[in-house]
């Protein structure tokens, strides 16, 4: 899946190909290298689309300079990236923007920067984009519209109807708002290749290890970045940190010479299996069952062909896998086959990672630096959705980068426009976090009482509906008001897609 239009070849021959600067492919230096590439493009999409997918079919044969694929797609669709000519350490690459990480936030940041005419390089420390998958793989129609996405069929696994919440006593309430379950690794590859088509360059297996300020006559001019990988060192006017929960730039940059830009945030463990033959009616099921997920939740996210992600998020990280296994054993998921997800060739079928839960970092910008997605602490507090926030924060970062470079002002004051943008757009994290904390202070029985006060369908409550919920709580368990029940209930409202919940 590659954006429509030319991939960047200026000529295709039986010998070594010649590439334009728009391509992420760099010609191999060896004269013995050969490559044969066959391109087949899908019909062009509207220029209004944010992403324009295209398929590229390629077969390769190399000798001294082997081609390296950045994404292995189904049906032998390869997108290729070659080794570049080795360079001396002093021969630094100069770019306008260096994007650290090729997840959804990094890929979109690179895409938006490239579209604004900025020379952009994405570095990714893995050998393949999109793996391992760390999340439940959902995105709402609200997010698709907000980001002007036109998803290609290849990245979509299943159309879904909304969210259903199951409380400790089995009470079910649903929030109908449509969306998609994605094949997330293909989604991220698609965005990254869209960025490549727009002129960005991509380097895999490149890990950032240090950043040094570049100054001229006392004025900040950019960052000299070094690390593991043949494209280093890199000089960048602006760095966009999309490195996920590791938030590498926050560690490397020490404004006062000793303390990092941001303290390490609190995280929870997320783990899931892909199960087969899972019954579903097209809703995403979220179980608030503290017995298995302490201060967290469990989920069933349906996919195509009867597959589903079944997993949990919990603060009890050492017990995460055991708790998930117990949940499956105790429920209707018992006996269903666990299988390796399509992107995983071998190993344990369990997969996941860590999720930031402390909220946005205190500093999401600095001289020539912006943090996006998980690297900025952007997740929806209750159900930890992060893709919508990552993709949108990348848009704001690219807008700020273009403005700063056009004005030759890379200062923290100029970068602060980014922070103002996301603060004006994203929901009030502190308020939602207070509600989440209030929810997890309730006993199982109190949570279930609260659930009985909600209507069966929570998508159209309105002011009168919320007032009715309050009256029901007052009638059935007035003591819950002393436990901040209103904040807990509001947290559910802020989990909706229009508040960047998913």
Look up the pTM and report it: 0.81
Average pLDDT for 294-312: 94
Q: Nearest CA to 68 among 57, 56, 84?
A: 84
Instruction: Using the predicted structure, report yes or no on whether residue 89 has a pLDDT greater than 50.
Output: no
pLDDT band at 164 (very low <50, low <70, confident <90, very high): very high
Average pLDDT for 228-249: 96
Task: State what percent of residues in the chain have pLDDT above 90.
Answer: 58
**41-50, 108-117, 171-180, 297-306: least confidently modelled range:** 41-50
**17-31, 244-258, 294-308, 409-423: least confidently modelled range:** 17-31
Instruction: Name the average pLDDT for the chain.
Output: 81
Q: Please tell me the number of Cα atoms within 13 Å of 175 on its side-chain side.
A: 19
Task: State what percent of residues in the chain have pLDDT above 70.
Answer: 82
pLDDT digits (tens, 9 = 90+) for 107-157: 999 999 999 999 999 999 999 998 888 777 899 999 999 999 999 999 999
Distances (CA, A) of 407 to 96, 119, 404, 414, 452: 13, 16, 5, 9, 57
Distances (CA, A) of 221 to 56, 119, 297, 402, 409: 39, 16, 46, 15, 8
Distances (CA, A) of 371 to 55, 109, 206, 257, 427: 31, 11, 19, 20, 18
pLDDT digits (tens, 9 = 90+) for 464-495: 888 888 889 888 999 988 888 888 888 888 88
pLDDT score, position 33? 33
Average pLDDT for 308-321: 91
Structural domains present in the chain: 9-82 (no CATH), 93-125+205-261+358-425 (3.50.50.60), 157-178+266-352 (3.30.9.10), 429-499 (no CATH)
């Amino acid at each position: 899946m590659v954006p429509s239009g030319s991939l960047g070849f200026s000529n295709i021959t039986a010998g070594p190909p010649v590439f334009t600067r728009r391509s992420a492919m760099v010609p191999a230096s060896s004269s013995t290298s050969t490559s044969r590439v066959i391109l087949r493009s899908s019909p062009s999409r509207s220029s209004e689309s944010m992403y324009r997918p295209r398929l590229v079919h390629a077969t390769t044969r190399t000798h001294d300079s082997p081609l390296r694929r950045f994404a292995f797609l189904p049906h032998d669709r390869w997108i290729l990236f070659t080794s570049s000519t080795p360079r001396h350490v002093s021969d630094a690459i100069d770019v306008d923007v260096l994007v650290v990480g090729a997840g959804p936030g990094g890929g979109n940041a690179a895409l938006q920067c490239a579209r604004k005419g900025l020379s952009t390089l994405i570095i990714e420390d893995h050998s393949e984009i999109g793996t391992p998958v760390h999340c439940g793989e959902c995105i709402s129609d609200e997010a698709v519209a907000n980001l002007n996405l036109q998803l290609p069929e290849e990245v979509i696994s299943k159309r879904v109807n909304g969210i259903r919440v199951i409380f400790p006593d089995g009470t079910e309430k649903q929030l109908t708002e449509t969306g998609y379950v994605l094949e997330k690794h293909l989604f991220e590859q698609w965005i990254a290749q869209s960025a490549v088509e727009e002129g960005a360059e991509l380097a895999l297996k490149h890990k950032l290890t240090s950043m040094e300020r570049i100054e001229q006559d006392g004025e900040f001019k950019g960052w000299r970045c070094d690390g593991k990988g043949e494209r280093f060192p890199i000089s960048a006017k602006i760095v966009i940190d999309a490195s996920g929960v590791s938030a590498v730039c926050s560690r490397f940059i020490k404004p006062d010479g000793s303390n990092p830009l941001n303290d390490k945030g609190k995280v929870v463990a997320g783990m899931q299996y892909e199960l087969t033959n899972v019954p579903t009616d097209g809703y995403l099921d979220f179980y608030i069952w503290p017995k298995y997920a302490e201060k967290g939740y469990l989920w069933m996210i349906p996919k195509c062909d009867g597959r589903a992600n079944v997993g949990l998020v919990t603060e009890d990280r050492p017990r995460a896998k055991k708790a998930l296994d117990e949940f499956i054993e105790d429920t209707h998921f018992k006996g269903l086959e666990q299988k390796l997800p399509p992107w995983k060739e071998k190993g344990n079928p369990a997969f996941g990672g860590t999720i930031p839960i402390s909220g946005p970092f205190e500093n999401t910008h600095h001289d020539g630096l912006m943090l996006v997605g998980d690297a900025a602490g952007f997740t929806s507090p209750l159900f930890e959705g992060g893709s919508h926030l990552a993709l949108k924060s990348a848009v704001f970062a690219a807008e700020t980068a273009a403005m700063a470079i056009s004005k030759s002002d890379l200062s923290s004051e100029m970068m602060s426009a980014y922070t103002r943008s996301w603060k004006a757009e994203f929901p009030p994290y502190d308020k939602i976090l207070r509600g989440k904390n209030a929810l997890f202070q309730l006993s199982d029985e109190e949570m279930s009482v609260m659930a009985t006060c909600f209507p069966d369908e929570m998508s159209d409550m309105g002011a009168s509906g919320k007032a009715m919920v309050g009256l029901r709580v007052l009638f059935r368990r007035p003591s819950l008001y002393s436990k901040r029940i209103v904040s807990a209930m509001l947290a559910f409202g802020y989990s909706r897609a229009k508040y960047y919940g998913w």
